[in-house]
Amino acid sequence: MMRPKTQDERDLLLYDSRLQRPVRMKTPEFERNGRIRHVIFSGQFTVPFLEELAGIADMIRMLSKSREGQDFLINLLPHKRAMLYFTQPSTRTFLSFNNACHILGMRTSEIRDPSTSSEVKGESFEDSIRTFSSYVDVIIMRTKESGRAAQAADLMNGIPRPVPVINAGSGSDQHPTQALLDIYTLQRSFEEHGGIDGKVIGMMGDLKRGRTVRSLCYLMKNYQGVRLVFIAPEQFAMQPDVKAHLDEHRIPYHETTRLDEALPSLDALYVTRMQTEWDTAGESRSVDLSRFSIGAPQLTRLKRDAIIMHPLPRGPEIDPSVDQDPRAMYWRQERNGMWMRAAVLMKIFGAEDRLSEIDPR
Ligand code: NCD
């Protein structure tokens, strides 16, 4: 890089190097008074936090079954407003966050199409984010570019009226709340089988460009004896940064292109689609997807109590007939997203203490 000449260039360099620091150095900046404030990377979560969040999500789920419980929840955060800034396509993450807000009585505003925001008039990303923060109490954001949520959180930490930032998917990099709902789904599924510790978890598909599997890998350091199996076409293998992290935390992983060989050893198979939107020259088309798909023949090789997950939307990699199989967990997984995201919002705003006021049964 060229030597910075002006003060602006020096500031930018400082700013860039601040954003480039490892997650463990940045984590304290995502907290305030010991409470989580910004949700940016899955690597920032600890075991006690994950367990507490799962407990809160369980409570919200139970309370939502009765009118009395729903009335209680809707009165928890009616004084808070959320901005949903989703400039990249989203169905589940958007709807589950929107409904999580509504369950807790929060009101929501949204921008889903950047052509309707002042960014088309040339307003900078920073100014847009700062503007949102003038009107709401939390910014939930999904962008096509990596690193934007981290940038927004950094910006918030330097202004007089900061609001929390939640990363709802940043490019092909991170999707921390997806990792939370995936962990919650694994925990619930293995509740009577010793929890997540010691399980063999397969991840299949476009592991190179899929942010969900990346974020989930960064959470695995919280569990003992987990082994990972990456099943991917060679050109879409898991990225070196994730592998380096797994090595650092001594989490064993095995890479293969043979689903049939991997299947019998798995306790969970996390299936993902080809991320074709990142293709520059139709790279995905060269993949024989039938080798990275699951249907009736593959089900016979999978353990009877294994589970099948998928962040959705699905492509051809899971045959719809699999939906009938009791091991198919993806529809429950998608609903878990709403409970877990409501739990995150409660934690951010400190509403979880109120749960002691009510019996969920
Ligand atoms: C995922 C995403 O957007 O990264 N979807 C989701 O949030 N449920 C997975 C995907 O699009 O493949």
Residue to substitute in 86, 146, 175 for testing ligand 1 pocket (most ligand atoms within 8 angstroms of CB) = 175
What is the Rg, in whole angstroms, of the alpha carbon atoms belonging to the chain?
A: 21
| pLDDT of residue 118 exceeding 90 | no
Q: Which of 37, 148, 175, 347 is catalytic?
A: 175
* Tens digits of residue pLDDT in 251-285: 999 999 999 999 999 999 999 999 999 999 999 99
* Tens digits of residue pLDDT in 153-174: 999 999 999 999 999 999 999 9
Amino acid identity for residue 326 in this structure: P
| Cα 311 to ligand 1 centroid, rounded to whole Å | 6
Selection from 198, 222, 212 nearest residue 44 by Cα: 222
Q: What is the pTM of this model?
A: 0.94
Q: Tell me the H-state helices in 28-91.
A: 47-63, 67-74
The first and second tokens of residue 352, run together, are 């979880």
| pLDDT of residue 1 exceeding 60 | no
pLDDT of residue 2: 59
Q: Are the C-beta atoms of residues 255 and 239 closer than 8 Å to each other?
A: no
Mention every residue, 6+ apart, whose C-beta is less than 8 A from residue 85: 110, 111, 128, 129, 132, 139, 140, 141, 142, 143
Amino acid identity for residue 348 in this structure: I
CA separation, residue 340 to residues 21, 36, 209, 215 (Å)? 28, 15, 24, 16
Task: Over range 178-205, report the average pLDDT.
Answer: 97
* Tens digits of residue pLDDT in 43-89: 999 999 999 999 999 999 999 999 999 999 999 999 999 999 999 99
Residue found by looking up tokens 């500031």 in the block: 11
Which residues lie with the beta carbon below 6 Å from any ligand 1 atom? Answer: 92-93, 169, 175, 178, 210-212, 272-273, 311-312
Task: Over range 114-140, report the average pLDDT.
Answer: 93
| Torsion angles phi and psi, residue 349, rounded to 5 | -95, 5
| Cα 190 to ligand 1 centroid, rounded to whole Å | 23
Contacts for 259-263 with beta carbons within 8 Å, 24 or more apart? 259/204, 259/231, 259/291, 259/292, 259/294, 259/298, 260/298, 260/301, 262/202, 262/229, 262/231, 263/202, 263/298, 263/301, 263/302
The first and second tokens of residue 265, run together, are 């050893």
* Tens digits of residue pLDDT in 318-330: 999 999 999 999 9
3-state SS assignment for residue 352? helix
Give the N- to C-terminal CA distance of the chain in Å, as an integer.
61
| pLDDT of residue 18 exceeding 80 | no
For the chain, list the domains and their CATH numbers: 9-174+336-352 (3.40.50.1370), 176-276+284-334 (3.40.50.1370)
Known catalytic residue at 208:
no
* Tens digits of residue pLDDT in 290-312: 999 999 999 999 999 999 999 99
Mention every residue, 6+ apart, whose C-beta is less than 8 A from residue 247: none
Q: Which atom of ligand 1 is nearest to the CA of 206?
A: 12
Using CA atoms, how far apart are residues 356 and 361, in angstroms rounded to an integer? 13
Residue found by looking up tokens 């993949």 in the block: 287
% pLDDT > 90, the chain: 86
Using CA atoms, how far apart are residues 116 and 101, in angstroms rounded to an integer? 23
Using CA atoms, how far apart are residues 268 and 228, in angstroms rounded to an integer? 10
218 pLDDT tier (thresholds 50, 70, 90): very high
